[in-house]
Amino acid sequence: MSASAKKILDFFTFRRIAIPIIIGLVVATYMVYRNFDIDTFKNIDWAWTIVFWLFIAVLLMGIRAIAYMYRLRILTDNQLSWRRCFQVIMLWEFASSITPSIVGGSAIALYIVHKEGINMGRTTAIVFITSLFDELFYITIVPFVIILTGYQNLFTLDAEFAIFNSKMGILGIFLSGYIFIVILSFIIFFGVFINPRGLKWLIIRIFRLPLLRKWLQAAVETGDQIITTSKELKVKKLGFWLKIYISTFITWTARFWMVNCIILAFLKVDHHLLIYARQLVMWVILLISPTPGGSGIAEFIFSDFLGEFITPGLVPALAFLWRLLSFYPYIFIGVIILPAWIKRVYNK
């Protein structure tokens, strides 16, 4: 096995994979045990509607993956086939699932996309633009949703979180996260579309640090490739960018509406848009989670933010079902795909 192949296997270790699974299962088991109510489960109407809405929930996760793949194909000018896009996206999600949310899976995503034969400059631009449009979706949809649901209905939870030795409420975390996302989006937009030479300068400055100096030459070459890729992206027509945004919108909307379907499978739902809006706030908190993929934190946040829409005895079970459909599949699919992907890209 080549040194590069061993390097990526060293990232996807058994320990990294096991930690989020164990944390999630322990937290879910504890929550179900603490709040278990046999009468609540006896009163559930086990009708065909449960199967139908859970099927729709799974279907939405499939739509989310397809939209991700479609976006990647557009960004690579169809250089990657649907099969290769599927493997890249699943491994990207796999990396994000076993990495602390505050760190993210972008670093390993750079490596995976690059190994598909995309030059490093274009790979960097692809990851940057993917991140930019994810943030743009959030920036544009949040004000719209707040206006429709009402500010007073969105920040009703009275809770505090310890961040950097100071306590912040939900509103404080949300506003801080939103401002950070706006600033990050501006930096990416400025670096890729307005001043790529400035981005190259920043990359070179970073890689002049003692610990990173041995990769300085590669950083210079990446900076040159970013400048070239930036020129290509600047001449893209409006339709290209609309496709990117629409696919991003579908991806995130499918992810959030899946929760509505899970709740709808067992209960009558009268506040779909408010549930959707609460998830937008949840997402900011999960971004700063220190656990891999937000494991353990996500289950508690689900109960806190969405518990008022669910029968108390069902909350932990639905929280676990949500993670079962939206988190664990990427770990198991990633474990299956990784060996085949390594064999394909390194044999090639």
Query: So what's the pLDDT on residue 244?
Result: 94
Q: Which residue has the tokens 């930019």?
A: 132
Give the up-direction half-sphere exposure of residue 274: CA atoms within 13 A in the CB hemisphere.
16
Query: So what's the pLDDT on residue 25?
Result: 85
Distance (Å, whole) CA 280 – CA 274: 10
| CB-based contact 46:318 (threshold 8 Å) | no
Query: So what's the pLDDT on residue 90?
Result: 93
Extents of the domains making up the chain: 3-347
Angle at 31 between CA 29 and CA 33, to 5 degrees: 65
- Length of the chain measured in residues: 348
> Which amino acid is it at 79?
Q
Computed from CA positions of residues 151, 61, 9, 70, in that sequence, does the dihedral angle turn out positive or negative?
Answer: negative
Return the closest-CA partner of residue 92 out of 345, 347, 331. Answer: 331
Distance (Å, whole) CA 57 – CA 269: 15
Query: So what's the pLDDT on residue 252?
Result: 94
Tell me the pLDDT of the chain (348 aa) as tens digits.
555 566 677 777 788 888 888 888 888 888 877 777 777 777 777 788 899 999 999 999 999 999 999 999 999 989 999 999 999 999 999 988 888 766 666 778 888 888 888 887 788 888 888 988 999 999 999 888 888 888 777 776 665 555 545 566 777 788 888 898 898 888 888 888 888 888 888 888 888 887 778 778 878 887 887 788 788 888 888 999 999 999 999 999 999 999 999 999 988 888 889 999 989 888 888 887 778 888 888 888 888 888 888 887 888 889 889 999 999 999 999 999 988 888 888 775
Give the up-direction half-sphere exposure of residue 25: CA atoms within 13 A in the CB hemisphere.
6
